[in-house]
Amino acid sequence: MKFAGHQSFHLRDQWLYKGIYWTKKSPQILFKKNTEIAMREMGIGKNMIDSLIYWLKVSNLIKLNQTSFMLTKTASQILEKDSYFELDGTLFLLHYFIATNKEEATAWHWFFNHFSANEFEKESLENAFSTYIQLKTNKQIKETTLNKDLNCLLRMYQSIDWKGRNNPETENPSPFTKYGWIEKKAEKFIRNKLNRNDLNIHIFSYLIYTFWKKELARPKSMKLEDVSLEENSPGRIFDFSLEEMNDLIDSSSKTNSYLNYSRTGGYFIIQLNEKNIKKSLDNYYKEMNLNELS
């Protein structure tokens, strides 16, 4: 478990491009010995550099390779196809990586996997998270530390009312705020969810592939409930119902033959076509590029 690795800074809209661009250009720029160079080139302070490294790691964009940082395969695809993180599919993928990172982004993992309230007050959120942590570890974690994570999480996903505020350029909000997954009304927070029709089927298929590969260790087949209800499953992270997941999986089975979907012995069974579904992220960017050209 890890807490407050973000230095109290939420993921900023302009950081991601800077992070992957400079990591590719200068793989050692994010090392401690080069902090002053990184600050100068990226135009952000020392603590923000530390926060940027944290967010790049937990969103599966960089990894440490002995003497340097290197881009992950996903980050290389994004740098080539959507370097400014403008496409919804790119951000939904990053959200999934963050929310499933139990060890490095514990609060995010807990909120999207285990906290089920659709309406809550800040105090009830804090109490629920504190109780969860007490059950999971014998270490004494300060309440102020846990609350830093929750405050950061809320800032990352809470919709912004720009009336009477500065513009997005100076506020530098999280790229996730535009989806309005968390709203504040008076003293309560309202939790909204993504409309399943807004999730591109190529991205959904890539999430299924990632879950199958990383969390389930490549089984020959899966049940509908596995990808809908299990910890870190796409259905759980995006709060889709079994019916919504059924529709999405059925659509995936008809798109590029990503998977086979059938009913056997009273269960809906999913079998991935690994050769095809592993290309689903590439297919998404090809589709978006064609749409821009048309």
Domains 15-85 and 198-293 share a fold: yes
pLDDT of residue 162: 62
Q: How far apart are CA 195 and CA 239, in angstroms?
A: 10
Q: How far apart are CA 18 and CA 282, in angstroms?
A: 22
pLDDT of residue 170: 45
Determine the topology of domain 15-85 in CATH: Arc Repressor Mutant, subunit A (1.10.10)
Return all residues near 96 (Cβ < 8 A) that are at least 6 apart. Answer: 207, 210, 234, 237, 238
> Taking the mean position of all CA atoms in its chain, how far away is CA 88?
12
At 215 the three-state DSSP class reads coil
Picking from 189, 132, 126, 130, the residue whose alpha carbon sits closest to that of residue 155 is 189
Q: How far apart are CA 51 and CA 65, in angstroms?
A: 19
Tokens of 135: 């059950």
pLDDT in tens, the chain (294 residues): 887 778 888 998 788 999 999 899 988 888 888 889 889 988 888 889 999 999 999 999 999 887 889 999 999 999 999 999 999 999 999 999 999 999 999 999 999 999 999 999 999 999 999 999 999 888 888 888 899 999 999 999 999 876 655 544 445 789 999 999 999 998 899 999 999 999 999 999 999 999 999 999 999 999 999 999 999 999 999 999 999 999 999 999 999 999 999 988 889 999 999 999 999 999 999 999 877 654
At 86 the three-state DSSP class reads coil
Tell me the CATH architecture of domain 198-293. Answer: Orthogonal Bundle (1.10)
* 194 in Cβ contact with 181 (< 8 Å): yes
pTM attached to this predicted model? 0.93
Mutual angle of helices 106-113 and 88-99, in 10-degree steps: 100
Domain boundaries in the chain? 15-85, 106-191, 198-293
